[in-house]
Structure 1
């Protein structure tokens, strides 16, 4: 087996991820080429390193794991999940496992919603990426990731530094632990009232996804539910759960049904608190979903439709429309910026950075692209490049805060988010 094919096979075997889905293979290929050049080894030799070197394994983990999320992502669904326990009497707290928790925003969103309703809750948050877990345990976030919170919610978390921090009282309700969904459930963890595993199983091979679901069922409390996202379908188009969603938990009347496995009875109640982290890891990959076929239209029309899709939160549709639009008009600054934002929102850092670089070639004064590049470099661990891009982006913003090369419609769409982006970039630069 060749080096590249061997690396992809290693990812599938050890992480359960089908790298052929959602452009992950391209990201892995770029990573392998970069590492081979840095180490001065062949792909075949790199594969041998991966099989025995935990540092290289961690590098692959970072390529295929979540790089971007935010508070209250799909808020309606989270509110419905928490709302199921509103009538619960006093006693033991609600136990929830967030599988594929990334940097913790989803776990803390659940805690915030439960606290607002007076529902006692304990959350186990697991992920593949050790860096993400460490970030989540710190519970300090920039302005961009809290954009889904209401103003009163943000005020409760605001600090003088400009960052947003989860109070210790709420932070103590979340336990971060490393875990791999291809392995048995975390040691000592059982009796969950809900398991939230959203935007994860979509990227698994079908057998691994079904195995993961079976293992999750084994640790549910009687009447517990596994909650996935509407996009979590398997390779053959079937839902990642095997029972229909109760309509009370539907995302919205017009949205695709959100798969939920409900009313499943595991063999044992909740036991001890989760044990210390094991060496396993939890796969929560995010990348581009399979592209939809874009309608035949001019580039301007596609950009307008993509902007509308972004505005309503449909990043997959926006990304696919913009990809088609840029093929027709490869000099569209606006197309590259919006495509970069869509890729960034769906966690495809490499694709996002490529688009922002293209935008900067066409308009070197585009501070928003520089800031996104800086944040992307930081997520990839390139601190020097991150500092350089963030500093330049903030300097450009100070000189000319407008975005003259973008249409007024796009400027209006970005009006609120751009302020959060500048704050997040400044906070990140100060921390580097």
Structure 2
């Protein structure tokens, strides 16, 4: 059999059986469904771990993975996609600002859960939006930002970004919410402390039986996460999340996600933005 040029030039031996084992492990650990088209992506992501550990091939790495629990976190981190940007899908932040302004008279603090915070651009975009909506640096809001990847959470909590990451932001937002680095920090910008205090970062695997948080939430951002799960897992997670929403709360999904098959849980009220369906209102706010 003739091997492809990609396979013949690979640094590490990587068989179909290795890929199948990887697919099974990441599905078990994180609920992520990897299609066959991701075979080369998986190789490039995990090859870094083989180099770091000085292992000769993927079969050896997978044996090591089974024997070393600490490596399992690195494995999940390596395969987690963290594509993000400030104010990505900007229409959602307009919707959030309008919602906040309409609910400023409420006695309770506005609570938001960002369920895939990645390196922090999304939760800080939420924080900026709410600070502007309330017209103050200390708005009555609490933002929980979670991710399965411990490495990106550490980066997010620092709130330090290269200047090109904030280049597209309006000048006024840059001045109000970021500090420009000097000296050894030249070329970087740091989120101001007042904004960082609005966000609490937590490591959460959405597949875990118990989540270390409690509802109710006014808004849940869960964007471009469900696409990595199969349909049964998507529905199970959506049901758990909607139980944490207030009756008039918002569930905000990603541009490639649709829940038209879940009308018993949510109803579309805007571009990939949902309210609870009437049958899902009961039980909102319970601890999961």
Superposition TM-score, scaled by structure 1 size? 0.54
Deviation of 1:7 after TM superposition, in Å, equals 1.5
Partner of 2:66: 51
Q: How many residues align?
A: 258
Tell me if structure 1 keeps the 8 A contact 2:142–2:199.
Answer: yes
1:131-150 to structure 2, matched below 5 A, reads 131-150=151-170
2:196 maps to 1:175: no
Q: Is the 8 A contact 1:222 1:265 kept in 2?
A: yes
Q: 1:125 to 1:7 in 2, by over 3 A?
A: same
The answer on 1:159 being equivalent to 2:180 is: yes
Preserved CA contact (<8 Å) 2:226 2:234: yes
Deviations 1:8-31 (A, max 9, x none): 10001111111117x433221334
Does the residue aligned with 2:146 lie in a helix, a strand or coil?
strand
1:215-256 per-position Cα deviation (integer Å, ceiling 9, x unaligned): 1112112222221012125xxxx658544421xx32xxxxxx
Q: How far, CA to CA, are the matches of 1:211 and 1:231 in structure 2?
A: 18
Shift of 1:185: 5.2
Gap change, CA 1:180 and 1:240, over 3 Å in 2: farther
Instruction: Tell me the CA shift for residue 166 of structure 1.
Output: 1.9
- Pick which of 158-167 and 217-226 moved more: 158-167
Residue-by-residue CA offset, 1:317-336 (whole Å, 9 max, x unaligned): xxxxxxxxxxxxxxxxxxxx
The separation in 2 between residues aligned to 1:266 and 1:123, in whole angstroms, is 24
Query: Which one has the bigger strand percentage?
Result: 2
Distance 1:193 1:77 in 2: 14
Aligned to 1:71: 86
Cα distance change of structure 1 residues 66 and 145 upon mapping to structure 2, 3 Å threshold: farther
* 2:114 partner SS: strand
2:217–2:244 CA contact under 8 A, matched in 1: yes
3-state secondary structure, aligned to 2:101: coil
Residue of structure 2 equivalent to 1:107: 123
SS in 2 for 1:145: helix
Q: Residues 15 and 269 from structure 1, CA distance in 2 versus in 1: closer, same or farther, beyond 3 angstroms? A: closer
Unmatched segments (≥5 aa) in structure 2: 1-15
Are the structure 2 counterparts of residues 42 and 160 from structure 1 closer, same or farther at C-alpha, using a change threshold of 3 Å? Answer: closer
2:43 matched to which residue of 1?
A: 29
TM-score, normalised by the number of residues in structure 2 = 0.79
Find the counterpart in structure 2 of residue 227 from structure 1. Answer: 252
Kindly tell me: are residues 163 and 42 of structure 1, through their superposed partners in 2, closer, same or farther at Cα, counting changes over 3 Å?
closer
Superposed, 1:26-425 pairs within 5 Å as: 26-32=40-46, 35-36=49-50, 39-88=54-103, 89-118=105-134, 120-156=140-176, 157-161=178-182, 162-184=187-209, 186-233=211-258, 242=263, 243-246=266-269, 249-250=270-271, 258=272, 260-262=274-276, 264-265=280-281, 267=283, 269=285
Is the alpha carbon distance of 1:141 and 1:42 closer, same or farther for their aligned partners in structure 2, counting shifts above 3 Å?
Answer: closer
State the SS of the aligned residue for 1:158: strand
Per-residue deviation at 1:180?
0.8
**Would the alpha carbon gap of residues 266 and 170 (structure 1) be closer, same or farther in structure 2, given more than 3 Å must change?**
farther
Confirm or deny: 8 A CA contact 1:219 1:266 kept in the other structure: no
